[in-house]
């Protein structure tokens, strides 16, 4: 029987089930047994880590088509290294570790697809690190907004990004909420975004990254010089609901 990759990722079956999560529900928590991996079919999620002191930092935003919890494949008895939480309503396929390993060994189309995902994730992590070390906080914010917008082809409408707080954006780019608020207001005045509860990103925002033409043009600019010690701002761990 020919393996159908699309059907495998869409349908429940042996060793896999479809799960639905509401905003703020968790796929898994940091320290849970890593015995399954999730394929995010629809929605957006975030990864957060918590320090021994109980401080939390957002380290990644995830979108449809990505896997969550790949550390499950590292070894038997592994633990999840972060908490994965739904930002909006999500649908995902939960795949048991044993089934995931079996399919990777037996079906080349699936293992090829998964390898491409891992490479893309690695490149994204490296780009995030370079951005954190060498870009101003204004450029880091512009990049995060553009990544969340996930622009499609020419002529497609400029999208609304998923609901996200300024505090979460500040955690991700390693600055304060007040700076994020200042930059968001300036982007809006320059016509780069629309911001009335939900954020609509215009493609012209990429000029901030390509040309850095807005940084330093205002004496009240909060942009800072890059610091090698920059780190995400952290806050106390909130209460969460676990997905049923």
**The two three-digit tokens of residue 122, written as one number:** 């690695």
Q: How far is CA 242 from CA 3, 21, 22, 130, 163, in A?
A: 33, 9, 10, 34, 20
Contact 163, 233 (CB under 8 A): no
pLDDT at 78: 87
- Mean pLDDT, the chain, rounded, equals 82
Residue-wise DSSP of 219-231:
TT-------TT--
How far apart (Å, rounded) are the C-alpha atoms in residues 184 and 186? 5
Q: Is the pLDDT of residue 222 over 50?
A: no
Spatial separation of the C-alpha atoms in residues 177 and 47, rounded to whole Å: 19
- Note the pLDDT tens digit of each residue in 12-65: 888 999 999 999 999 999 999 999 999 999 998 999 998 888 888 888 888 899
Residue 187: the pLDDT is 92
pLDDT for position 237:
53
Contacts of 225 (CB under 8 A, 6+ apart): 136
Contact 124/65 with Cβ under 8 angstroms?
Answer: no
Domains of the chain: 5-128 (2.60.120.10), 136-225 (1.10.10.10)
What pLDDT does residue 76 have? 79
The model's pTM is: 0.71
pLDDT band at 211 (very low <50, low <70, confident <90, very high): low
Percent of the chain scoring above 90 in pLDDT: 39
pLDDT at residue number 205: 86
């Amino acid at each position: 029987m020919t393996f159908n990759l699309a059907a495998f990722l869409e349908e429940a079956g042996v060793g896999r089930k479809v799960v639905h999560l509401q905003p703020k529900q968790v796929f898994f928590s940091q320290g849970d047994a890593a015995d399954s991996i999730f394929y995010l079919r629809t929605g957006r999620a975030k990864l957060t880590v918590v320090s021994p002191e109980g401080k939390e930092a957002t380290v990644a935003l995830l979108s449809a088509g990505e896997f969550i919890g790949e550390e499950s494949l590292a070894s038997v008895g592994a633990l999840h290294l972060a908490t994965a939480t739904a930002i909006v309503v999500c649908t995902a396929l939960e795949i048991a570790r044993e089934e995931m390993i079996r399919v990777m060994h037996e079906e080349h189309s699936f293992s090829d697809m998964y390898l491409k995902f891992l490479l893309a994730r690695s490149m994204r992590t490296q780009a995030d690190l370079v951005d954190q070390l060498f870009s101003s906080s204004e450029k880091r914010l512009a990049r995060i907004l553009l990544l969340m917008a996930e622009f499609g082809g020419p002529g497609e409408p400029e999208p609304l990004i998923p609901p996200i707080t300024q505090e979460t954006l500040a955690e991700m780019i390693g600055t304060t909420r007040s700076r994020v608020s200042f930059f968001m207001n300036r982007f809006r005045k320059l016509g780069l975004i629309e911001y009335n509860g939900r954020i609509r990103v215009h493609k012209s925002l990429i000029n901030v990254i390509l040309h850095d033409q807005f940084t330093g043009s205002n004496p009240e600019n909060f942009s800072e010089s890059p610091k090698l010690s920059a780190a995400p701002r952290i806050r106390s761990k909130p209460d969460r609901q676990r997905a049923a």
